[in-house]
């Protein structure tokens, strides 16, 4: 017996639009393998979303660490017995101990004159990590400032 003869024999009409409506009924209602394919599709999206969140977290962590190191170095550099070069070295030491020495290569400083004194501004330039702690393709520049009274 062919499928259409068997369907007619069972009282079902599987031709035309009725066939579309009763497709699962005509073929026994089988959805074998549907759960496996749905799992693969959903899990691929979840893995991609997890890696994106992990990457964003890593970028924010590196940026916040650089900002904190630059600010601490600037405050250290304006102390009475310290110089701006001491602040730069402090910034490099904090970055090297926190994340990696390759992020401490672009550290510099400048003084900005104000009415009652000057501001020591320490700038850190580094590459944003792309995958893990590998250097990336985009640069980030952060500054830390401290007011030095005269």
Q: Per residue in 57-94, pLDDT tens?
A: 888 999 999 999 999 999 999 999 999 999 999 999 99
54 within a domain of the structure (yes/no): yes
**Model confidence, pTM:** 0.71
43 within a domain of the structure (yes/no): yes
63 within a domain of the structure (yes/no): yes
4 within a domain of the structure (yes/no): no
Radius of gyration of the chain (CA): 32
Kindly indicate the confidence band of residue 9, based on its pLDDT and cuts at 50, 70 and 90. Answer: very low
66 within a domain of the structure (yes/no): yes
Cα–Cα distance, 105 to 125 (Å, whole number) = 8
121 within a domain of the structure (yes/no): yes
Range of the domain at 129: 14-149
Cα–Cα distance, 49 to 136 (Å, whole number) = 20
**Number of compact structural domains in the chain:** 1
Cα–Cα distance, 123 to 107 (Å, whole number) = 6
């Amino acid at each position: 017996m062919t499928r259409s003869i068997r369907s007619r024999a069972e009282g079902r009409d599987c031709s035309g639009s009725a066939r579309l409506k009763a497709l699962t009924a005509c073929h026994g209602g089988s959805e074998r393998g549907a759960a496996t394919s749905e799992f693969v599709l959903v899990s691929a999206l979840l893995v991609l979303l997890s890696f994106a969140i992990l990457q964003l977290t890593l970028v924010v962590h590196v940026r916040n660490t650089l900002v904190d190191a630059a600010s601490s170095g600037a405050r250290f550099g304006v102390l009475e017995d310290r110089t701006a070069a001491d602040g730069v070295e402090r910034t490099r030491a904090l970055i090297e101990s926190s994340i990696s020495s390759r992020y401490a290569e672009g550290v510099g400083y400048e003084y900005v004159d104000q009415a009652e004194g000057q501001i020591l501004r320490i700038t850190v330039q580094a590459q944003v990590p792309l995958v893990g702690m590998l250097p990336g393709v985009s640069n980030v520049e952060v500054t830390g400032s401290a007011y030095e009274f005269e």
